[in-house]
Amino acid sequence: MTFVLVGGSTATATIDGISAAGANPALTYHTPAVDLELVTYGRPVFSDILPMSPTGCPTPALITRGVRNLLGFETVAIEAGLAVDTAAPTISVGDSPGADIREAEAVPDAEELFDRASAVGRALSEERVFIGESVPGGTTTALGVMRALGEPYGVSSSLPENPLGRKAEVVEAGLESSAVGYGDAAGDPLEAVRLVGDPVMPTVMGVAAGALDSGTAVTLAGGTQMVAAAALLRHLGVEADLSLATTVFVDEDTEDLQDATDALDIDLTVTDPRFDQTDHVAMRQYCQGEAKEGVGMGVHWRSQQNVRPR
Amino acid sequence: MTFVLVGGSTATATIDGISAAGANPALTYHTPAVDLELVTYGRPVFSDILPMSPTGCPTPALITRGVRNLLGFETVAIEAGLAVDTAAPTISVGDSPGADIREAEAVPDAEELFDRASAVGRALSEERVFIGESVPGGTTTALGVMRALGEPYGVSSSLPENPLGRKAEVVEAGLESSAVGYGDAAGDPLEAVRLVGDPVMPTVMGVAAGALDSGTAVTLAGGTQMVAAAALLRHLGVEADLSLATTVFVDEDTEDLQDATDALDIDLTVTDPRFDQTDHVAMRQYCQGEAKEGVGMGVHWRSQQNVRPR
């Protein structure tokens, strides 16, 4: 297997109360750059910042790194608008972080990101790729594009208490400032991304579309951000098989996850890392609803005994 | 083994008659970006330009790729001032191509490149790394820093007829515009690079110094540019074992190669890919003195029967 990890930033994450992917909103800009270093090297290299939530729950990148040590899978990291440099080897498809979705345009270069990522997806010659992401603020932008596409599904959160009201407010302001209403971008997913998305989205779409195009199977390894990526692909006209691997933590936070994946014709796997069977403080924090997912961590326990029956 | 490939550009390559690493001087800017793609994917991805010399001799990246297919070694590509985007996964240590060495300052960010590359070198946990380069114009900048360091050794060329007179002229103009005389930068190698070097040099130095610092052995895989890198490391005070692997083509073009490596206390291996035993037009071009080396190609035939006795 090859694990493709797409890292990028959006100013949307710096809005108060939106993201737990950083000890404070400004530090969310460091998170994707360091997440890529953690998965690659097992430690931060260009900085000494370990990404953690405001309450000290460490980034899921550490879990992915731990599993990588055990399984030894290959990783291809893709950079889609990082605000901070990373020491990880990355394929750069774009340099600019996304704007706050309350601006008129969130991702001006959405089409270019998609085109370049497609070329990369086609160049990966693998049987199957697993695509993960690190983009703080990504569930808010996910909610934004779902509404612009006219998809009614909800999103999860990296915070223990999902700030759905705050997210809905930001998304509403975003749709208004971009003059796009519910469903106005149906069938035009790159337009939805351009107006209210983030730069990781067209990159995940491009890698997936390019890989599928060249006969590589695709599993989206993530939570509701990857449901949004799947919705974007369906609105692009991609009809190939798609699967989604996520965690019980996301599943428990997202009432309509099964409905969404059914409607979008996505094969859903919910895995349970059994963090309740350990007393390590960080894993207990996951059980209490922190972080939940990210950096592809959901994919790794895809063994029968840990897959929760649906 | 891990093969570390550093790619970067210098405007020095666009001076007429300096480099054969491109069908024309402007195209030398594409060469390192595509070389990285060729070693990674086996084909250009973001463009359809195959780097070749003005007479059509293809880039040594193809040879390295071919050998990589046979041996399956791991590659880490590092970007040090590319003028053109690459689809290869790279660790970016700097964004700016070097200036023409006839400007006052050739590599303003030499120290930063070195520091970042050192962090990367320390993060590589390997028994031995082989460091190759792709930087058109690199033998001219190599001549520049050797003179600034007060090292008397000559350089090879990617052209069949080494334009030594043209290079000496450019270097003289470079030293003059930077107000640095022969040997003025002895013991201050990053100053030599800043004034008359290219961005690949401090990156190769940093990777090597960081790797050696953490107990990883280092082979410089290249021609006289790597002799210059070794000289820069010695002037930095690095006393650890260093080896250089190059080709017979470089050796035949460089009268004082053995003297230089003896003086700098570098273990020299000259390998012969036996291109004279094939009638493929591209390999014949190597025998006629085209390209000679680059993208680490010298390292790959490091087996006893192909090593020419010295």
Tokens of A170: 């930001």
Please, where are the H alpha helices in chain A? 31-41, 61-71, 110-123, 138-149, 164-177, 189-196, 200-213, 224-235, 248-253, 257-263, 281-287
Which CATH number belongs to the domain containing residue A280 in this structure? 3.40.50.10210
3-state secondary structure (DSSP) of residue A291: coil
In angstroms, the separation between the Cα of residue A152 and the nearest Cα of chain B is 36
Q: Chain A contacts of B80, Cβ < 8 Å? A: none
Domain that holds residue B215: 2-302
pLDDT of res. A194: 98
* Cα dihedral A144, A147, A151, A153 in deg (nearest 10): 60
Q: Chain A contacts of B88, Cβ < 8 Å? A: 91
**Does B84 reach chain A within 8 Å, measured CB to CB?**
no
Encode pLDDT of B23-49 as tens digits. Answer: 899 899 999 999 999 999 999 998 889
Count Cα atoms within 13 angstroms, Cβ side, for A89: 24
Q: Chain A contacts of B118, Cβ < 8 Å? A: none
Mean pLDDT of A33-45: 95
**Does B92 reach chain A within 8 Å, measured CB to CB?**
yes
Distance CA B162, CA A275 (A): 65
Q: Chain A contacts of B87, Cβ < 8 Å? A: 91, 116, 119-120, 123
Picking from A87-101, B152-166, B177-191, which range would have the lowest pLDDT averaged per residue? B152-166
pLDDT of res. B105: 98
Phi, psi of A191 (to 5 degrees): -70, -40
Interface test with B, best of A5, A38, A90, A93 (most B CBs within 10 A): A90
Chain centre distance of CA B25: 18
Q: Would B43 be classed as within a structural domain?
A: yes
A46, A88, A92 ranked by CB distance to B85: nearest: A92
Tokens of B35: 């070389």
B123, closest residue in chain A (CA to CA): A41
pLDDT of res. B47: 86
| B308 — pLDDT class (breaks 50, 70, 90) | low
**Burial level of A137, CB count in 10 A (0-12/13-18/19+)?**
buried
The mean pLDDT value of chain A amounts to 92
pLDDT of res. B300: 55
Q: List, as ranges, residues 241-270 from A with C-beta within 8 Å of B.
A: none
Between A230 and A273, where is the model more confident?
A: A230
pLDDT of res. B261: 97
Q: Would B83 be classed as within a structural domain?
A: yes
| B138 — pLDDT class (breaks 50, 70, 90) | very high
Mean pLDDT of A101-120: 97
Q: Would B296 be classed as within a structural domain?
A: yes
Picking from A12-21, A132-141, B178-187, which range would have the lowest pLDDT averaged per residue? A12-21
Interface test with B, best of A43, A84, A92, A93 (most B CBs within 10 A): A92
3-state secondary structure (DSSP) of residue B138: helix
Interface test with A, best of B65, B86, B92 (most A CBs within 10 A): B92
| B310 — pLDDT class (breaks 50, 70, 90) | very low
pLDDT of res. A300: 55
| A282 — pLDDT class (breaks 50, 70, 90) | confident
Between A271 and A307, where is the model more confident?
A: A271
Q: Chain B contacts of A123, Cβ < 8 Å? A: 41, 43, 45, 87
A43, A89, A120 ranked by CB distance to B91: nearest: A89
Give yes or no for residue A118 having a pLDDT over 60.
yes
- Complete DSSP assignment for A36-50: HHHHHHSS-SS--PP
Give yes or no for residue B2 having a pLDDT over 70.
yes
The one-letter amino acid at B156:
S
Give yes or no for residue B153 having a pLDDT over 80.
yes
A46, A89, A119 ranked by CB distance to B119: nearest: A46
Between A286 and A199, where is the model more confident?
A: A199
In angstroms, the separation between the Cα of residue A273 and the nearest Cα of chain B is 29
Distance CA A257, CA B75 (A): 40
Distance CA A192, CA A231 (A): 11
Q: Which of B297, B222, B253 is nearest to B230 (CA)?
A: B222
CB atoms within 10 A of CB A267: 11
Q: Chain A contacts of B112, Cβ < 8 Å? A: none
Q: Using the beta-carbon criterion (under 8 Å), do A91 and B88 form an inter-chain contact?
A: yes
Picking from A138-147, A219-228, B219-228, B273-282, which range would have the lowest pLDDT averaged per residue? B273-282
pLDDT of res. B240: 97
A41, closest residue in chain B (CA to CA): B123
Mean pLDDT of A77-106: 96
pLDDT of res. B309: 45
In angstroms, the separation between the Cα of residue A89 and the nearest Cα of chain B is 4
pLDDT of res. A308: 52
Q: Would B310 be classed as within a structural domain?
A: no
Give yes or no for residue B304 having a pLDDT over 50.
no
Angle at B81 between CA B79 and CA B87, to 5 degrees: 45
**Does A34 reach chain B within 8 Å, measured CB to CB?**
no
Q: Chain B contacts of A116, Cβ < 8 Å? A: 46, 87
Q: Which of B140, B142, B132 is nearest to B225 (CA)?
A: B142
Picking from A125-129, A179-183, B64-68, B299-303, which range would have the lowest pLDDT averaged per residue? B299-303
The mean pLDDT value of chain B amounts to 92
Distance CA B236, CA B216 (A): 18
In angstroms, the separation between the Cα of residue B160 and the nearest Cα of chain A is 35
**Does B74 reach chain A within 8 Å, measured CB to CB?**
no
pLDDT of res. B303: 43
Mean pLDDT of A197-217: 97
pLDDT of res. B282: 87
CB atoms within 10 A of CB A28: 27
Distance CA A301, CA B86 (A): 34
Give yes or no for residue A303 having a pLDDT over 80.
no
pLDDT of res. A78: 97
Q: Using the beta-carbon criterion (under 8 Å), do B76 and A85 form an inter-chain contact?
A: no
- Complete DSSP assignment for A240-251: S--EEEEEHHHH
Count Cα atoms within 13 angstroms, Cβ side, for A96: 12
Phi, psi of B52 (to 5 degrees): -150, 165
B78, closest residue in chain A (CA to CA): A89
CB of B213 within 8 A of CB of B237?
A: no
Encode pLDDT of B283-292 as tens digits. Answer: 888 888 888 8
Q: Using the beta-carbon criterion (under 8 Å), do B119 and A85 form an inter-chain contact?
A: no
**Does A89 reach chain B within 8 Å, measured CB to CB?**
yes
B124, closest residue in chain A (CA to CA): A41
Sequence-distant (≥ 6) Cβ neighbours of residue B280 within 8 angstroms = none
Q: Would B180 be classed as within a structural domain?
A: yes
Q: Chain A contacts of B90, Cβ < 8 Å? A: 89-92
Q: Would B307 be classed as within a structural domain?
A: no
Tokens of A181: 């209403």
Sequence-distant (≥ 6) Cβ neighbours of residue B45 within 8 angstroms = A119, A120, A123, B37, B87, B88
Domains: count for chain A: 1
